Amino acid sequence: MTTIPADNKPKRWPKHAVWIGLVIAVGNVPLYFSIIQFSPDLRDVPWINMPLSWLALALATVGTWQVVKQGRGVLKKGLAAGGLLLTLFLVGICNWYVFSYSYSLPESPDATATETVAPDFELPDHKGQPISLSDYRGKKLVLVFYRGNW
Tell me the per-residue pLDDT of 25-49, one tens digit each, with 9 for 90 and over: 899 888 887 887 777 777 766 778 8
pTM above 0.95, yes or no: no
Spatial separation of the C-alpha atoms in residues 39 and 137, rounded to whole Å: 36
Residue 99 phi/psi, 5-degree rounding, is -100, -15
Question: Which pairing describes strands 130-132 and 122-124: parallel, antiparallel, or unpaired?
Answer: antiparallel
pLDDT category at 3 given cuts 50, 70, 90 is low
Give the model's pLDDT for residue 39.
Answer: 76
